[in-house]
Amino acid sequence: MQNPPDSSAARLKIGFLLIDRFSNLCLSNALEPLRAANSFAETPVYSWSFYSLDGAPVRSSSGMAVLPNGKISDMSRADRLYVIASYGHLANDTPATRRALQQAARRCGAMFGLDAGAWLMASAGLLAGRRATVHWDLLDAFSERFLDVDVEQALWFEDGDVLTCAGASATLALSRHLIARDVSPAIALDVDALFTPPVRSNALPSVRDPLLTRATRIMRENIETPLGIDDLSSRLNTSPRTLTRRCQAVLGMTPGQLYRHIRLSAARSLVEGSTTSIAEIAVRCGYEDPTALTRAFRKRFGAAPRAFRGETAPNRA
C-alpha cells in the first residue's frame, strides 16, 4: 500500500500500525471514509502510511497480506496513530510490542486503539488512569486484566490524547464523527451518502438531529427540482425559522446552503462517474443551465466540471 496522492499537502498525518491478524473491516472502516473525505474537501485533509512492528508484511485475520511502508520505529511523526489488532492479541502482547508502542506514543499527537488495539496499549501502560473501551468480546477479560484502566462499555471513548474503539462497526461511526470534526459536518454528510444505504428508516450518523436527518433525506430525493424553504418546512411539519435555526446550529449553514452542497456533490459524482453531458447534469441537479452549474461548481471545487471529467471516480465507496 502506498501513500495517497498529494500527501505532502494534507493537514493531518495518519499512521496505521497493523498487528498480525488485524481486522480487514476495522482498517477499511477507519481508512475509506478518510479517503472519501479527501475527495470531497477542497484540499486533502488526510495522508496516511502503514506500519508493522518489524517492517515485514503483516497478514489480516482473513489472510490478506499487507506490505507496509516500514516498521513502526521508522515513523518520524504522526498526528494520529491507529493501533489495529484483533485475533491473536495475546500472542502479540510481548515485551517487544510494548516497547514499540511506548516509543511510538512519543512520536504521535494521539493514539487510537481499535478492536483489541486497546489491550496492547493497556499492556504497554498507555491507558493507566484513563477511561477506555475495547471490543465487546474482551470487556470482561480486559477489566480483570487491567485494574488501572476505567473500562467503559461504549462504541468509542476519547480521553485526552488517547482514543479507544470497540470494533469494526464502531470504527465506521467514529470515522464519520472525526470527519465532521476535522473537516465539516457537510463533508461528513457527503461521506454518509457513500456508505449509508438510502433507507428511509436509517438516520445519518453524523446528523443526530431527527429534523435535519429528514430534511437531508428530502433534499436528496428532490435534487432535480429543488424545493423552496417554505415547501421543505411544510413537508417537515415545522417553520422555516425553526429549520434554519437548527440547520445553522448543527451544520453551520442555512438550509439553502446545505441543499446547494448536496446538489453540487451529486453533480460531481455524475461528472466523475458517468459520460452524461454537463448540460444534462445541470438539469439533473437542479440548475437552470450549464453556466449556472459551472459557476457554482467552480466556486466550491476550484475548477469547472470538465476538469474532473475522466477521473477514476475517487468519491465512490
**Domains along the sequence of the chain with CATH:** 7-180 (3.40.50.880), 184-308 (1.10.10.60)
Which is more confidently placed, 17 or 192?
Answer: 17
**Which pLDDT score is estimated for 312?**
43
Question: Among 6-15, 158-167, 274-283, 292-301, which stretch is predicted with the lowest mean pLDDT?
Answer: 6-15
- State pLDDT tens for residues 152-172: 999 999 999 999 999 898 999
pLDDT band at 182 (very low <50, low <70, confident <90, very high): very high
C-alpha cell at 159: 480521553
On the question of pLDDT at 3 being above 60, the answer is no
Closest CA to 83 of 34, 14, 145, 175: 14
On the question of pLDDT at 199 being above 90, the answer is no
On the question of pLDDT at 109 being above 90, the answer is yes
- State pLDDT tens for residues 33-60: 999 999 888 888 999 999 999 999 999 9
Distance of CA 275 to the CA centre of its chain: 28
Q: Give the ranges where 76-150 is alpha helix by DSSP (H).
A: 89-92, 95-105, 117-123, 139-145
Residues of the chain above pLDDT 70, percent = 91
pLDDT band at 196 (very low <50, low <70, confident <90, very high): low
On the question of pLDDT at 181 being above 70, the answer is yes
pLDDT band at 27 (very low <50, low <70, confident <90, very high): very high
Backbone angles phi, psi at 212, to 5 degrees: -75, -30
What's the burial of 249, exposed, middle or buried (CB within 10 Å: 0-12/13-18/19+)? Answer: exposed
Its sign, for the CA torsion 188, 189, 190, 193, is positive
This prediction has a pTM of: 0.76
